[in-house]
Amino acid sequence: MALASTVGSVIRMVADGQQLGIVATLAAARLETLRSEPCPGVTSGSETAGPYRVTWSVTEDAGGKQVLVAVRYPSVQRVRTEAFAGFLPCGP
């Protein structure tokens, strides 16, 4: 019995790890897309990619823009959200 419950836990951890890899890739891709845009055009927004909901908020900061990317996704046991922060320098 103990072995069976351990196997279940390991399967959940592996599935969660795979999800986190996808989530991190989606957030990094969004940050790179925002970095490639001219600074005045960088604004908040959202998009859906399959079961993943990616939202980003942009706020002005001295010398650039602060970006918070949140990815909402279904995990094995519940819907989760992971957040990633970045800074986009704007200026000469």
Q: Which domain holds residue 46?
A: 2-89
Residue 50 to residue 35: CA distance in whole angstroms = 24
Residue 57 to residue 76: CA distance in whole angstroms = 27
Residue 77 to residue 71: CA distance in whole angstroms = 16
**22 touches 50 (CB < 8 A):** no
pLDDT tens for 59-74 read: 998 899 999 999 999 8
Is residue 16 classed as helix, strand or coil in its secondary structure? Answer: helix
pLDDT tens for 12-62 read: 656 667 888 999 999 999 999 999 999 999 999 999 999 999 999 999 988
**Kind of pairing between the strands at 52-61 and 79-89:** unpaired
Give the count of domains, the chain: 1
